[in-house]
Amino acid sequence: MLLKQTPSQTIGPFFSYGLTPKQAGYNKLSSLASSSLVTESTIGAQIRIEGTIFDGVGDIVSDAMVEIWQADSQGRYQNQPSLEGIGSSFLNFGRCDTGANDQNKFVFETVKPGQISTKTAPHINLVIFMRGLLSHVFTRIYFPDEKNSNLLDETLLTIPAYRQETLVAKKLSGESTPIYEFNIHLQGEKETVFFDA
Amino acid sequence: MRKSQFNMRDWKSHPKYLTPSYKSTVLRSPTKPLIPMKQTLSEITGPVYGHDSINPLDNDLTKNGITDGREPLGERIVVSGKVLDEGGRSQPNTLIEIWQCNSAGRYIHVNDQHDAPIDPNFFGGGRCMTDENGHYKFYTIKPAAYPWGNHVNAWRPAHIHFSLFGPAYVTRLVTQSYFPGDPLLDLDPIFMSTPKSSQGLLIKEFSMDLTEEGFALGYKFDFILRGPNATPMET
């Protein structure tokens, strides 16, 4: 007999001084996560992920928290059981408050993740919280320049073809650091795929 | 390597996304069904924080916001309990973050425009790690109810926001915990969005055992996170 899970409740509009204090300009608490996952010794191709979250009428969501969790450029997670004890120069986890910049985007400085297995394409995992979301949503970012491995990804393959593209970022050109744009649509025609992960 | 997958979110315990009485859900809820996913290494791993990420006053909100040498106003409370998984196993070394309004019902957040005083000595944010037995403890000031714009004469019941990681990316939980006997609970669309049989899991229990003589009233609040199931994951 299992105990009942503690129910989720919305993060509400006022989380930033507690969860993303530095980004939001509060100095009473240190920040445990930032929007940059790279350090000086990080190996791999640095990239920027940026995106906007749109609600059901296309308005930009300016009070969301986006968390990312991804493998390093070699496809490893920090606390992967087989790798315990190996110091990591890459922070697999990041947080961004969409209220913390003028355009209300989420922006992450990171590296292109490696493959974690032959059955998965490189991807970044996202958890999204906001006022009006009573329980968080899970989604994933895939890469447009990984067409071959995307075709073999066991998670993408479970999604109807016409919705798969909501999970593939768009590569923006003209910068020295590659920028991948990943916009999130909470509702409507272009509604992003959310997982019961 | 083999490692267990985690039980799914129990939707009989969590609120439904679309809860029209809570107006903000109308344009922000997914409208298509969630796509069930077979968990991979990405889902069963998660960020790990050490006890060194926590500063000594991070779990004491009665002290970590003092700016003019005086203590914050309001009723001091202790909030303490355990973090368990569904199988009743203690969850050691897991990060708990909290944020809340002050004893007048005002958040320090710049966007909170409620006409109630800011307390210069109360910040309202904190964090701690569970110990090796899954126990945690915060000292804080009892938060107050405050009005919000959801409907005419709408008031949020007093609550503390909690954020927990647990052992994996999929055990993440953000929730709110309320106070026993609050008449606003039945009128609050956010609390009431929770299935009736699980609402009690969001209400703290008053505890004389946790009450510290001459100092602070005690409240017990436990968390139950998703636990591993019997399905091994092959990689």
pLDDT tens profile A123-146: 999 999 999 999 999 999 999 999
What angle is formed at CA B132 by the lines to CA B127 and CA B138, rounded to 5 degrees? 30
The band of B132, judged by pLDDT with boundaries at 50, 70 and 90, is: very high
Q: Is a pLDDT exceeding 70 seen at residue B234?
A: no
Q: Is a pLDDT exceeding 60 seen at residue A150?
A: yes
| Span B79-93, average pLDDT | 97
- Shortest CB distance from B88 goes to which of A3, A61, A187? A3
The band of A39, judged by pLDDT with boundaries at 50, 70 and 90, is: confident
| Alpha carbons B205 and B213: distance in angstroms, whole number | 18
Q: Is A131 on the interface with B (CB under 8 A)?
A: yes
The band of B136, judged by pLDDT with boundaries at 50, 70 and 90, is: very high
* Amino acid of residue A74: Q
The band of B76, judged by pLDDT with boundaries at 50, 70 and 90, is: very high
> Would you call A187 and B30 a contact, using CB atoms and an 8 Å cutoff?
yes
Q: Is A125 on the interface with B (CB under 8 A)?
A: yes
Contact assessment for residue A186 and residue B27, using Cβ atoms and an 8 Å cutoff:
yes
Q: Is B19 on the interface with A (CB under 8 A)?
A: yes
Alpha carbon of B78 to those of A84, B136, B199: distances in Å?
35, 11, 22
Q: What domains, with CATH codes, occur in chain B?
A: 2-234 (2.60.130.10)
**Active-site residue list of B:** 107, 146, 156, 159, 161
The band of B232, judged by pLDDT with boundaries at 50, 70 and 90, is: low
The band of A83, judged by pLDDT with boundaries at 50, 70 and 90, is: very low
Q: Residues of A with CB below 8 A from B191's CB? A: 9
Task: Please give the pLDDT value at position A84.
Answer: 45
The residue of A17, A78, A117, A134 whose CB has the most chain B CBs within 10 angstroms, and thus the best one to mutate to test that interface, is A134
| Alpha carbons B122 and B69: distance in angstroms, whole number | 11
Predicted ipTM of the assembly: 0.96
Q: Which residues pair with B154 in a beta bridge?
A: B148
* Tokens found for residue B59: 């779990």
The band of A85, judged by pLDDT with boundaries at 50, 70 and 90, is: very low
> Would you call B7 and A2 a contact, using CB atoms and an 8 Å cutoff?
yes
Task: Please give the pLDDT value at position A79.
Answer: 59
Contact assessment for residue A181 and residue A144, using Cβ atoms and an 8 Å cutoff:
no
* Tokens found for residue A190: 């272009």
A/B interface, count of CB pairs below 8 Å: 256
Q: Locate all alpha helices (DSSP H) within chain A, ordered by sequence.
A: 16-19, 21-24, 147-152, 161-164
Q: Residue A187, Cα to own-chain centre: how many angstroms? A: 18
Burial of residue B71, with CB atoms counted within 10 A of its CB: 0-12 exposed, 13-18 middle, 19 or more buried: middle
Q: Across chain B, what does the average pLDDT equal?
A: 95
Q: Which residues pair with B163 in a beta bridge?
A: B97, B174
> What proportion of chain B, given as a percentage, has pLDDT over 70?
97
Q: What domains, with CATH codes, occur in chain A?
A: 16-185 (2.60.130.10)
Alpha carbon of B106 to those of A132, B101, B179: distances in Å?
20, 5, 17
Contact assessment for residue A96 and residue A20, using Cβ atoms and an 8 Å cutoff:
yes
Task: Please give the pLDDT value at position A175.
Answer: 76
Q: Is a pLDDT exceeding 70 seen at residue A88?
A: no
| Span B176-184, average pLDDT | 98
- Shortest CB distance from B198 goes to which of A4, A92, A131? A4
- For chain B, how are helix, strand and coil distributed in percent, rounded to 5? 10, 30, 55
* Tokens found for residue A137: 């949503």
* Tokens found for residue A94: 């990041």
| Alpha carbons A157 and A146: distance in angstroms, whole number | 15
Query: Hey, how many other C-beta atoms are within 10 angstroms of the C-beta on A98?
Result: 25
Query: A31-35, A67-71, B64-68, B180-184: which range is least confident on average?
Result: A31-35
The band of B193, judged by pLDDT with boundaries at 50, 70 and 90, is: very high
Report the gap between the CA of B8 and the closest CA in chain A (Å).
Answer: 7
Under DSSP, is residue A33 helix (H, G, I), strand (E, B) or coil?
coil
Task: Please give the pLDDT value at position A176.
Answer: 87
Alpha carbon of A72 to those of A44, A46, A79, A92: distances in Å?
8, 11, 12, 7
